[in-house]
Structure 1
Amino acid sequence: MLLVLSGNSLAAADQANPLARKAASDTGSTQASRTSSAARKAEVSKSDHRVADRLVRPYEGGREVRPTPIDLIVRKQLKQKGIEPARPCSDEVFIRRVYLDVTGTLPPSKDVLYFLNSSDEQKRAKLIDALLEKDEFTDYWTLKWCDLLRVKSEFPVNLWPNGVQSYHRWIRDAIKENRPYDQFARELLTASGSNFRVPAVNFYRAVQGTEPEAIAEMVALTFMGVRIEHWSDADRKAMANLFTRVAYKKTVEWKEEIVHLDPASNTPLAVMFPDRKKAIVAVGDDPRVAFADWLITEKNPWFSRAICNRVWYWLLGRGIIHEPDDIRPNNPAANPELLRYLQTEFVGGGYDLKSLFRMILNSQTYQQSCIPRSKSPYAGAYFAHYTMRRLDAEVLIDALNGFGGTHEKYWSPIPEPFTFIPEDYRTITLADGSITSQFLDMFGRPSRDKGYESEREHNPTDFQRMYMLNSAEMHQRVSNSPYLKRVLREGGGDRKGIVRKVYLRVLSRRPTDQEMKIALGYFDQKSNKSGLWSGTHDLAWALLNTKEFLYKH
């Protein structure tokens, strides 16, 4: 990471490697670009034709884990396509990546040091197992499922605060106990009763409309990964027909609603499932149960395909079928064999989502560097490297507040006491999609209106860049950071120790020799005690603006 002096602040970019070259282009720093040329000349010998294939430190070079069946399938396709896979990511990259992907949090510095210093060949697998049992895993994946299931009080979903709290607790309990996915889905699909007393009933209330067509669209998107607007009129009508007997009834309790089987339905119902199979639902039987019985079976690929593809998307940044909620014949899988393998293992393992996570996380494919070794434009689509993507808005604000000792100011259009959120509440634990903040809106938090993955926006904007570089909130976080105060207080003037601790806290790694040299050179320009304070804060602010901090990589 090259620290480039710009006025009284530091801009950060590592022009000596591909990861930070992207960061420099994002910030548009011309001064960083000028420095990059000198850095490359210093580091790259023109006489060495092999220089382009050298390890990029500190992002590559970890011990490659034993290949899994996933890797054999992926590598076979890459070989057929003439695409070279990326190298293994370094331990520094891995611990940060897996913490963010599994728990939505940055790793504590002490955990980073322990992991980096460990010689245990199984340390990556052991770390994965430990993270899957943490409360933060439950919190983060509750957030993800709340996005998908549209957990939101206000328009256009209108669950209202009581329904949101009930639904959120139910989802969190299911994730915490690792409820089998087939059971989880069946409970949602067949739920009846009060939305306050039977939380899963809110699945049918979190829809923009109560008509069968709206319900069918939501069910297909959630559990089949399809958008039925691509279907024929006849197929859409057949799907909607399965939900024509879902009825809603108000009660005397404010905002309570009963979801139930329509008692006026006194004739058998002829139905057709999405695979064109036909059946008759008897009087008194619930067509939703018939649909669940059809969907959740080992032989039906719709159900397992959708969730396996979605989990792969969540962890790798790109679906085997992409977008992960737009499965259709003319949007084929990039690697059909890989998707079939995941489905077989998932179903055979009892629909265990944690086992699916563990299987993917332990693969070489997941543990690749984000730096491609192939110029093929299809390298990412065939999973030849890890896909870089910006941190989720909720994860990013929690990381910034954790560093700065600050709190997020939430607001909501709902004038209810239920919307009060304590200042120290972590954003990844926020239940209600209607409760938001300026930061969350700016950094692309999903609206939870439709349940599409694309509702979450990861593309950077000029407003985001200006916020990170110049906002009063960022100034407060850096200037008043309890962590930086402690580092300076306990550092005893040890400038190298201070630089190391700042890098560990922000980037979850030690600085390289070049980075240390540049940081110390900057400190030399500020010789007195206040200069060390100022230099440390400039260093922290610079690192918080790097792509290495802002992105999963």
Structure 2
Amino acid sequence: MVNADSEVQSKTGLLSAQIDRLVDEAQKREGIIPAPRSTDAEFLRRVTLDLTGKIPPVAEVRRFLADQSPRKREQLVDRLLASPGFVVHFTNVWRDLLLPEITSNLQLRGQIPEFEAWLRSRFQANTPYDELARQILSTPLDVNSQTQPGELTQDLTPRAYYVVKQLKPENLAAGTSRAFLGVRIECAQCHDHPFDSWKQQQFWEYAAFFANIEQTQPDQIAVTLNLRESGGRPQIKIPDTNRLVDAIFLDGIQPEWEQGDTAPRVQLAEWITAQDNPYFAKATANRVWSLFFGRGIVDPVDDFSSSNPATHPQLLELLAHALRKQEYDLKFLIREIVNSQTYQRTSRQTDSSQSRVEWYGKMPTRGLSAEQIFANLVQATGFFRQTTEVDPFLLSQGPNTPESEMRDLFQTDSENQLDPRATILQALALMNGTFMTNATSLEQSDVFTAIVEFPGSTISDKIEAFYLCTLSRPPSESEVKKLNAYISSAKTEEERTHAYSNLFWALLNSSEFLLNH
């Protein structure tokens, strides 16, 4: 049994070691033969994608591969966690986690800029996650704030979270229970849960915490946040019945309602983030783990139930305890996970037992988000690089831009990163789309032009440069030999340029470029 109190220490790597020990014990029990450690290039690309949302620049690849320090991986992780790219990427991740509705409802995107800016400010300040959750759950709503679509208010708040959920208690109950408790309680909205112990009455007792919110005189032009919330004991009627139910926590305890106008959501926020809450720390730790392995220890991540047990219960307990002990510092937990040998295994399968992904015998191959695909294309090609100084999601609000086209094309509401599936339209866009045509053009692409026209470089040098800027690794000897022969066969300078363009195109369309591995 893991002694969590003695094992968890900040920035010592002891948590990483305990992660590895518990995973190793499970692998031995299940007969899993683990894959070897990843190469430096493989690790660099993976962790940079996971922490900043895009592949590393060529200069960083060359520097890291040349670094002989035994601690260079740990040092890289620290640099990435301190970078602006971490803030932008995790803002995107948590925006999609908290507001999944925006992927399928274009009308809701006008609500996003302020919420996204608020999230970014919290990640910049490394706000403890329990405090971030409390702020969302209990943010004051009775503030008149009218803005035009896309315009930010002066004081950033997460009020848009409630507008996107349409102020409906049932939507807010379903969203907050999934995001912060890992519970799909909405399955009991219309009837008792068919596979778990949740009852319909429990769903509406939880939803009642949001029953006192109302919107007054909606404005048809402005994005209106004219919201009002009354205090005191809230009640809600269960649809299609005559039953009124009081707000009660999911553990069956009824709040002690104070005199005055204390918002019910404040009571709920305190219960959810309390040290003894049975769900919050585990759900958060499980969610963070899933970001790096494509699946949770409890999987799906928002389905904590008696019928869906954890694959590694001791590991989940350890991570949850560490998160509480470190005052919900997400960077601490992320640092320990990516410094573990479990995370640093190669994704190449070396034994058939490694195909059982729930035992982490090798690093699973994962799909990329729409933002990551676009950011990788910009990083690799230099095309439209000037637009990336602003978050691609905000840019996507405008019509007919490469950013908006890419985001809409590759956006998915699937939670399964381990089974990425490209559509025919996605494949055609990458193979024949305007973006790809321009990105591999001598006239349009900065990177392509710089590599092809770099003075004094050999064919092998150019081949290596194309591999470094796309796949973040040098080519193998066999790849250099084959490609050297292909490019050398060109009879004219124009044919040679076309051959380089074909190489660049092939690398950008390869699964190695389009997946995290």
Q: 2:87 aligns with which of 133, 138, 144?
A: 138
Distance 1:307 1:266 in 2: 28
Aligned 1:314-325 pairs, distance under 5 A: 314-325=291-302
Listed one character per residue, the Cα deviations across residues 23-76 of structure 1 (whole Å, up to 9, x for unaligned) are: xxxxxxxxxxxxxxxxxxxxxxxxxxxxxxxxxxxxxxxxxx996110001110
Taking structure 1 as reference, are residues 465 and 221 closer, same or farther at Cα in structure 2, changes over 3 Å only? Answer: same
Distance 1:225 1:498 in 2: 49
Q: Does 1:237 align with 2:208?
A: no
- What is the TM-score with the length of structure 1 in the denominator? 0.78
Distance 1:67 1:149 in 2: 28
Aligned 1:126-525 pairs, distance under 5 A: 126-150=75-99, 161=110, 163-193=111-141, 194=143, 196=153, 197=155, 199-207=157-165, 209-228=166-185, 229=187, 230=193, 231-250=198-217, 254-262=222-230, 270-283=246-259, 284-376=261-353, 379-407=356-384, 424-425=387-388, 428-431=391-394, 437-446=404-413, 453=415, 458-479=420-441, 480-492=444-456, 494-525=458-489
- Number of residues of Structure 1 aligned to a counterpart in Structure 2: 468
Distance 2:491 2:108 in 1: 59
Contact 1:392–1:458 at 8 Å: present in 2 too? Answer: no
Contact 2:212–2:230 at 8 Å: present in 1 too? Answer: yes
Give the drift of 1:338.
Answer: 0.9
Distance 1:425 1:534 in 2: 28
Shifted more, 466-475 versus 502-511: the winner is 466-475
Listed one character per residue, the Cα deviations across residues 235-294 of structure 1 (whole Å, up to 9, x for unaligned) are: 112211222223333477933223343269699x95421112233323433221221221
Taking structure 1 as reference, are residues 521 and 343 closer, same or farther at Cα in structure 2, changes over 3 Å only? Answer: same
Distance 1:143 1:491 in 2: 40
Contact 2:218–2:224 at 8 Å: present in 1 too? Answer: yes
Shifted more, 317-326 versus 344-353: the winner is 317-326
Contact 1:309–1:321 at 8 Å: present in 2 too? Answer: yes
The one-letter code sitting in structure 1 at the alignment partner of 2:439 is R
Taking structure 1 as reference, are residues 426 and 146 closer, same or farther at Cα in structure 2, changes over 3 Å only? Answer: farther
Match of 1:117 in 2: 66
Distance 2:92 2:490 in 1: 44
Distance 2:361 2:100 in 1: 35
Aligned 1:33-112 pairs, distance under 5 A: 68-112=17-61
Taking structure 1 as reference, are residues 298 and 404 closer, same or farther at Cα in structure 2, changes over 3 Å only? Answer: same
Percent identity among equivalent residues?
29
Distance 2:367 2:113 in 1: 29
Partner SS, residue 343 of structure 1: helix
Contact 1:151–1:159 at 8 Å: present in 2 too? Answer: no
CA RMSD of aligned residues (A): 2.9
Partner SS, residue 508 of structure 1: coil
Give the drift of 1:165.
Answer: 2.7
Partner SS, residue 278 of structure 1: coil
Taking structure 1 as reference, are residues 438 and 455 closer, same or farther at Cα in structure 2, changes over 3 Å only? Answer: farther
Contact 1:304–1:347 at 8 Å: present in 2 too? Answer: yes
Distance 1:353 1:158 in 2: 32
Shifted more, 369-378 versus 530-539: the winner is 369-378
Contact 2:53–2:89 at 8 Å: present in 1 too? Answer: yes
Taking structure 1 as reference, are residues 155 and 109 closer, same or farther at Cα in structure 2, changes over 3 Å only? Answer: closer
Match of 2:5 in 1: none
Contact 2:54–2:379 at 8 Å: present in 1 too? Answer: no
Distance 1:432 1:249 in 2: 31
The one-letter code sitting in structure 2 at the alignment partner of 1:287 is P
Distance 1:213 1:153 in 2: 18
The one-letter code sitting in structure 2 at the alignment partner of 1:167 is F
The one-letter code sitting in structure 2 at the alignment partner of 1:523 is I
Partner SS, residue 247 of structure 1: strand
The one-letter code sitting in structure 1 at the alignment partner of 2:262 is D
Distance 1:160 1:398 in 2: 20
The one-letter code sitting in structure 2 at the alignment partner of 1:221 is R
The one-letter code sitting in structure 2 at the alignment partner of 1:272 is I
Q: 5+ residue gaps in structure 1?
A: 1-64, 409-422, 447-451
Give the drift of 1:346.
Answer: 0.6
Q: 5+ residue gaps in structure 2?
A: 1-13, 146-152, 188-192, 236-244
Contact 1:227–1:326 at 8 Å: present in 2 too? Answer: yes
Give the drift of 1:216.
Answer: 1.0
Distance 1:400 1:181 in 2: 32
Taking structure 1 as reference, are residues 462 and 165 closer, same or farther at Cα in structure 2, changes over 3 Å only? Answer: closer
Match of 2:240 in 1: none
Give the drift of 1:101.
Answer: 0.6
Taking structure 1 as reference, are residues 426 and 137 closer, same or farther at Cα in structure 2, changes over 3 Å only? Answer: same
Contact 2:232–2:262 at 8 Å: present in 1 too? Answer: no
- What is the TM-score with the length of structure 2 in the denominator? 0.83
The one-letter code sitting in structure 2 at the alignment partner of 1:486 is A
